[in-house]
Amino acid sequence: MPYGYSRFNVGTVPYYYNEGVYYRNSTSSGYEVVAPPLDATVSKLPSNATVTVIDGQKYYQVGGTFYQEEFDENNRMSYRVVGTDGVINTAVDVDATANAIPEENLNAYDEVVPTPAPVVVPILGSRYDALPAESKVQLINQQKYFVSPGGIYYKEVIEGDKIRYEVTTVE
């Protein structure tokens, strides 16, 4: 394992974490890199994490993984994985499975709450006719960018006689 890793469990499964990379014991000897498990809680995010606000909620995003801040009883902050592959709430919470309604008994309950629709994050290279509301200009390395309140960067692109805005990374 790399220097500085931390160990945690999701349910009864042990995982290891270091700088945004998650590991699990391999079936052969050693460890294997795995996708971030939902509900994993880590004490530190990688330095390339960006802040995104979606539906009034603050998230930290790193390579398609979404985190939310949490505070424990001692007021220490940590970050919980709440979405992967660019989608928030992609699976059932590990602790919630204990309270889940068995499928064969669903008709015995008056109300079934639908699963919320996944949040869509703009894809790198997507182009738009207008910037999101309250986007601001930022000059980075002598290049002009627009940053949305959700932390998404755009650059101006000229298409014929139109100015459009392309989702980009900072160069």
Instruction: Tell me the pLDDT tens digit for each residue of 19-28.
Output: 888 888 887 7
Predicted pLDDT at 163: 80
Cα distance between residue 7 and residue 25, in whole Å: 11
- In terms of pLDDT, which residue wins out, 89 or 162? 162
Whether the per-residue pLDDT at 90 is higher than 70: the answer is no
Handedness of CA 79, 85, 89, 93 (dihedral sign): negative
Q: Which two tokens stand for residue 75?
A: 């007021």
Q: List, for residues 117-165, the tens digit of each pLDDT value.
A: 555 567 788 888 888 888 888 877 777 888 888 788 888 887 777 788 8
Q: How confident is the model at residue 93 (pLDDT cuts 50, 70, 90)?
A: very low
Residue boundaries of the structural domains of the chain = 6-96, 127-168
Q: How many CB atoms lie within 10 A of CB 167?
A: 17
Amino acid at position 72, single letter: D
What pLDDT, on a 0 to 100 scale, did the predictor assign at position 99? 45
Least confident of 40-44, 100-104, 114-118, 164-168: 100-104
Beta strands in 43-150 (DSSP E): 50-54, 57-62, 65-71, 77-84, 87-88, 127-128, 136-140, 143-147
Residue 13 bridge partners (DSSP)? 10
Would you say 62 and 20 are in contact if contact means Cβ atoms under 8 Å apart?
yes
| pLDDT for the residue 112 | 52
pTM for the full predicted model: 0.50
How far apart, in whole angstroms, are the C-alpha atoms of residue 79 and residue 71?
9
Cβ atoms of 106 and 149 within 8 Å: the answer is no
pLDDT of residue 171: 60
pLDDT of 95 higher than 50: no
For residue 58, which amino acid is it?
A: K
